[in-house]
Amino acid sequence: MSGIPEGAHEADDQPACSGPRGGGYSPAATPESSWRRWAVVMENVPIARDTYRLRLAEPSIASAIRPGQFLMVRPGPEGASDPLLGRPFALYDVVLDGAGVPAAVDIVYLVIGRGTSALASRRPGERLSVWGPLGNGFGPPPGGEGGVIFVAGGIGQTPFLALGRSWMGRQAYGGERTDPPLPASPVMLYGVRNAGLLAGVDDFRAAGITVEIATDDGSAGHHGFVTGLLGRRLERGEQPSRVIGCGPAPMLAALTRLTARYRVSCEVSLENHMACGFGACFSCVAPILQSDGSTDLRRVCVEGPVFPAEAVDWSGISGH
């Protein structure tokens, strides 16, 4: 999986990233803002089936990170060498202290394998090795009259809490508050396999984001894929200013085709496997279409994870 030795860049407060960041989309984190640190676990609590919210006390990352950026977290306890590779997780939200100063970051994760299982065993007071902020993140909100629709599949809802709060002007991220804020609250269409996996719905609603649910098995909301919820809106003539998707690749491929059919601007946040998170190993590459029609492999960790949907070559991926 990795082209770099596991455990590289292990020293406290050493730059976890060097060299220029890739780009062409929204600006990526600067090398200076990406540092490996020890973060103290404040909370690690279940919020849905196999799903946890981890709160890490890390004021410097909390002050710098913007919606759509991510952290690499080594899931093992301090001193353990297994698992050695970090795992990428999107910013869920930034937690402010009593004086309104960014103090901690929340991530929400689904347990699927060795790394996330190890993470679920971490307890308050333990320290975890983390590095970030990483990736380009989302840009400013779109102008125009139409609304903004987030389309989340599986654990793909996680980047949309901070993004919604940012674009509504509710909270500053990376020291900047969105001005002017979105004129209307965003809508999040949220699809999971079954109702037990719905995670954080109350957080989104409390933030003022309208949530519509789809489940594959019909146990909550629309019975079917989340793209069906969007399709119904577009068929009715709704013209959003932007749709943003995050979730499994087949869902994003389907979303790209659907929004292209209705000529709606769409961005996607990719969740490719990653080993280093800062551009050194090429384990995270995605096929990105170039202006001359060719396809080039680009590192999702530095040039993404957010891309215009039509820039991604989905030809190898069947969507539903």
Rounded Cα distance between 2 and 69, Å, is 21
Minimum CB separation of residue 1 from ligand FAD in Å reads: 8
Check residue 16 for interaction with ligand FES (CB under 6 A): no
169 and 177 in contact (C-beta within 8 Å)?
yes
**Interface residue with ligand FAD, options 158, 166, 215, 256 (CB under 6 A):** 158
Check residue 88 for interaction with ligand FAD (CB under 6 A): yes
Check residue 256 for interaction with ligand FAD (CB under 6 A): no
Query: In the range 188-227, which residues lie near ligand FES by CB under 6 A?
Result: none
Check residue 272 for interaction with ligand FAD (CB under 6 A): yes
283 binds, among ligand FAD, ligand FES, none (CB under 5 to 8 A by kind): ligand FES
Number of residues that bind ligand FAD (CB under 6 A): 21
Minimum CB separation of residue 26 from ligand FES in Å reads: 17
Minimum CB separation of residue 98 from ligand FAD in Å reads: 27
Q: Which stretch binds ligand FES (CB under 6 A): 97-105, 138-146, 155-163, 271-279?
A: 271-279
Nearest Cα to Cα of residue 75 among 41, 28, 25: 41
Binding pattern to ligand FES, positions 222-261, x when CB under 6 A? ----------------------------------------
195 binds, among ligand FAD, ligand FES, none (CB under 5 to 8 A by kind): none
Residue whose CB is less far from ligand FAD, 36 or 53? 53
184 and 277 in contact (C-beta within 8 Å)?
no
**Interface residue with ligand FAD, options 151, 155, 187, 234 (CB under 6 A):** 155
Binding pattern to ligand FES, positions 296-315, x when CB under 6 A? ---x-x--------------
What DSSP line would sit under the chain, residue for residue? --SS-TT-S-STT-BS--SPPP-SSSPPPPGGG-EEEEEEEEEEEEEETTEEEEEEE-HHHHHH--TT-EEEE--SPTT--SS-S-EEEE--EEEE-TTS-EEEEEEEEE--SHHHHHHHT--TT-EEEEEEEES----SPP-SSS-EEEEEETTTTTTHHHHHHHHTTSS-BTTB--SSPPSS--EEEEEESSGGG--SHHHHHHTT-EEEEEETTSSSSEES-HHHHHHHHHHTT---SEEEEES-HHHHHHHHHHHHHTT--EEEE-----SSSSSSS-TTEEEEE-TTS-EEEEEHHHH-SEEEGGGB--TT----
**Interface residue with ligand FAD, options 273, 290, 318, 320 (CB under 6 A):** 273
Residue whose CB is less far from ligand FAD, 114 or 257? 114
Q: Contact positions toward ligand FES, by CB under 6 A? A: 274-277, 279-284, 299, 301
Q: Contact positions toward ligand FAD, by CB under 6 A? A: 70, 87-90, 107-110, 112-116, 155, 158, 271-274, 305
